[in-house]
Amino acid sequence: MTVGERFRIWSRRWRLDHLTTHLTLGFFALVTVTPYLWLLSTSLKLRTEVFTPTPKWIPWPINFGNYAEVFDRAPFGIFLVNTVLVVSGILAAQLLTITLAAYVFARRKFRGVDLLFLLFLIQMMIPIHATFLPNFLTLRNLDLLNTRVAMMLPFFASGYGTFLLRQAFKQIPRDLEDAAVIDGCSGLRFLWHVLIPLAKPTLVAFGLISLVSHWNDYLWPLIVTDTPDVRTLTIGLGMFVQQESGADWTLLMAATAFVTAPLLVIFLVFQRKFIESFMFSGLKGSR
Amino acid sequence: MRQRWVVGALVLAAAVALAVGPADAASKLIRLTFYYPVGVAGPLAKVIGEMTDKFNKENPGIEVVPVYSGDYDPTLQKVQTAVMAGNPPDIFIVEISELPTLLAMNAVIPLDDYVKKAEGGKYWDDFFPPFRENSVVKGKIWWIPFQRSTPVFYWNKELFKKAGLDPERPPQTWAELKETAKKLTVREGNEVKQWGVTVSGGWNDWLFEAFVRQNGGWLINPEGTKANFDSKEAVEALDYWVDLMHKEKVGPPHSTWGSTPPDFVAQRTAMLYHSTGILTFLRTSAKFDFGVAFMPKNKTFGAEVGGGNLAISRKIPKERQDAAWKFIEWMTSSGNAAQWSLASGYVATRKSAYEVPAMKEFLAKDARYLVARDQLQYAAGKMMAPNFQKIREILKKQLDDAVDGKVNPKEAMATVQKQVEAVIKR
């Protein structure tokens, strides 16, 4: 047996080919997770232990007091409830509006459909800040300022979501629709029973993106709300970042850990679907 | 019959009481909205809440509702949106350089009539003169100093000892600072292990103005109509920065406002230019002894002030404005100015605040908090002009390019002058 062959057998036994893959993946996973670990470590430190000449990974003594202080400074429990309500309210409304709009844009033919779709795309390009004042005025006239609805209403329609879903619907072969129509299933029933189940990964992907971006919304909620009973987590988080003196790092990290944890859990639960949706977009009409 | 009549009368009386009572109480109670930013670390949102609660208890007819509105920039945005929508907060705090912006929007009222009558006419003169400066435009007082700061100089006594320097004697002049910084810079090969001095980035435009003051110059006149960036004094000041950060390499050319206090705590820099607002953060975070001093002088000691002021909205009824003034006068009384300073680390805005017993007791324990106040005798107002955000960006870009060695100081300041003039004239 030559050395080369022996090596090949040895490497097959130890799955060396897998090993390199896993090492690479492990490396990138570590790079990705490092900031989060540092965040957790800092959130458990004493203030004097944060900025040491050599970075310390293990907080000692462990100081859970930061978390208690964060909750003492602002009503984070109420903020969490509000955030969940706002984010899920937006998502529910969006799912309804984008599926209907995407269905029309993908499957219905009428005059001006392309122009309308173009207008929808343009809506994606308007910077959100430009819409603040008109939206604020609308909400004031509806007497909705300082409510949770005020934080949701401007996002009920989504150009991005409509675009994403229209593309997904378009990729579903026409034959399926013909077959469905022959079986007497048309219009909304076709949408409900055929299109939506097939586009589920796209819906999940959009849902996660919507969830994350509205979870992290800061300026709009800050502008339309005044009282802590309707405000969201990011506003609480903002209290620990200061323009004149820098941040209160231990508290900021404790608050950030609390604010991001629910998102991480959601992502872990849905990650397979999330990744599938990107695979799906590459397989034209194979489903 | 008679009984029925009594019952009827009672019901009627109750109905009248129900209809009139609460309505009457509601018309008497003035509810004021108060937007405030949080500029320095600490449980300040809570402190503001406690202070307004106390005011509300002492003033039954008024209820001030404090609304936390983020940093200075989001606060300004929230104020602007609300003003433009015709729904302004009654009282608000924004960063002092925004006064011309507020005036351009016609958002605030002059406070002269209130100020004249307050505390038997002695109110206004009790504020430190540099804090008053950013309030006065076109001969009128537009807002009242509240959360105010000024840059100071911090030095690490332990690192001074290690370098064989006298730990109780910080550098007094620009020349001394340069020599001291050279001795305190520690290099391993090409890598800097410890910087001599850090002039914090992010608000470096603010610190630069202090250096120009130390050199006997100024950048924008108090009226906000004339720029003076290409003066000899300003060019020399930038020249000095280039010396420190580019030629001698004893200070980092780039940093952020938030990252330099931690750098100082981690002993990555031996000396630091930063706001007096970080003193409490440093005191509670550093494991070594450090001192606070005036910023070193060149021709003179010099500084300018920063922070936020209290203003009253224009488009609200007179009775609300009167109530709002009552609140502002209360918040800025000697006692409350002292309490706010103790809780936040901001400089107390009034001379008499330093006579308040609690303040005296605190300062007896840590005299470092007095340095910022004492430096005020050399301080002036912060430059301001309409579109100040834009002017800041112009100045910061050239400062950054100059300390990078991309452009020489003279050209840099000429560019700033030209661009700022265009902004001011518009």
CATH number at residue B126: 3.40.190.10
Does B403 lie in the same domain as B256?
Answer: yes
The answer, yes or no, to whether residue A96 has pLDDT greater than 60, is yes
Strands B306-312 and B91-95: antiparallel
Chain B: closest CA distance from residue A165 (Å): 34
Q: Is residue A94 within 8 Å of residue A164, measured between CB atoms?
A: no
Mean pLDDT, all residues of chain B: 91
Does B244 lie in the same domain as B117?
Answer: no
**Measured between CB atoms, which of A74, A223, A235 is closest to B81?**
A223
* Residue A286 pLDDT grade (very low, low, confident, very high; cuts 50, 70, 90): very low
Q: Is residue B101 within 8 Å of residue B387, measured between CB atoms?
A: yes
Distances (CA, A) of A45 to A105, B203, B270: 54, 29, 24
Sequence-separated (6 or more) residues with CB below 8 Å from residue B381: B96, B130, B132, B133, B134, B222, B304, B305
If one compares A16 and B119, the residue with the highest pLDDT of the two is B119
The mean pLDDT value for A1-11 works out to 74
CB count in 10 Å sphere of residue B2: 6
Query: Which of A243, A248, A249 should we substitute to test contact with B (largest number of B Cβ atoms within 10 Å)?
Result: A243
Q: Give me the CATH topology for the region A69-280.
A: MetI-like fold (1.10.3720)
Nearest residue on chain A to B67, judged by CA atoms? A226
| Domain residue limits at B201 | 151-304+387-425
Give the containing element (helix H, strand E) for A134.
helix A132-141
Give the containing element (helix H, strand E) for B68.
strand B62-68
Residues 146-205 (A) with a CB less than 8 A from some CB of B: none
Query: Which of A245, A250, A253 should we substitute to test contact with B (largest number of B Cβ atoms within 10 Å)?
Result: A245
State pLDDT tens for residues A21-75.
889 999 999 999 999 999 999 999 988 888 877 788 888 888 899 999 998 888 9
Does B118 lie in the same domain as B162?
Answer: no
Contact B70 A52 (CB under 8 A): no
Does B285 lie in the same domain as B189?
Answer: yes
Does B287 lie in the same domain as B196?
Answer: yes
Provide, as residue numbers in chain B, all residues whose Cβ is less than 8 Å from the Cβ of A238. Answer: 70-71, 74
Q: Lowest-confidence range among A238-252, B213-227, B339-353, B405-419?
A: A238-252
Nearest residue on chain B to A234, judged by CA atoms? B70
Residue A29, chain B, CB below 8 Å: the answer is no
Does B187 lie in the same domain as B145?
Answer: no
Q: Is residue A272 within 8 Å of residue A278, measured between CB atoms?
A: no
The mean pLDDT value for B101-125 works out to 95
Distances (CA, A) of B259 to A66, A205, B37, B194: 20, 36, 21, 15
State pLDDT tens for residues B6-47.
455 544 444 444 444 444 445 579 999 999 998 777 788 889
Residue B40 has a pLDDT of 74
State pLDDT tens for residues B272-308.
999 998 998 899 889 999 999 999 999 999 999 999 9
The mean pLDDT value for B92-114 works out to 95
Delimiting residues of CATH 1.10.3720.10 domain(s) in chain A: 69-280
State pLDDT tens for residues B212-260.
999 999 999 988 889 999 999 999 999 999 999 999 999 999 998 888 9
Residues 297-316 (B) with a CB less than 8 A from some CB of A: 306-307
Residue B19 has a pLDDT of 46
Nearest residue on chain B to A51, judged by CA atoms? B266
Mean pLDDT, all residues of chain A: 87
State pLDDT tens for residues B164-192.
999 999 999 999 999 999 999 999 988 88
* Residue B4 pLDDT grade (very low, low, confident, very high; cuts 50, 70, 90): low
Does B316 lie in the same domain as B190?
Answer: no
Q: How far is residue B48's CA from residue B323's CA, in Å, rounded to a whole number?
A: 18
The single-letter code of the amino acid at B409 is P
Its sign, for the CA torsion B339, B340, B346, B349, is: negative
Residues 7-36 (B) with a CB less than 8 A from some CB of A: 33
Contact A227 B65 (CB under 8 A): yes
Residue B23 has a pLDDT of 44
The single-letter code of the amino acid at B422 is A
The answer, yes or no, to whether residue B374 has pLDDT greater than 90, is yes
Residue B68, chain A, CB below 8 Å: the answer is yes
First to last CA, chain B: 83
Query: Which of B94, B280, B285 should we substitute to test contact with A (largest number of A Cβ atoms within 10 Å)?
Result: B285
Residue A175 has a pLDDT of 87
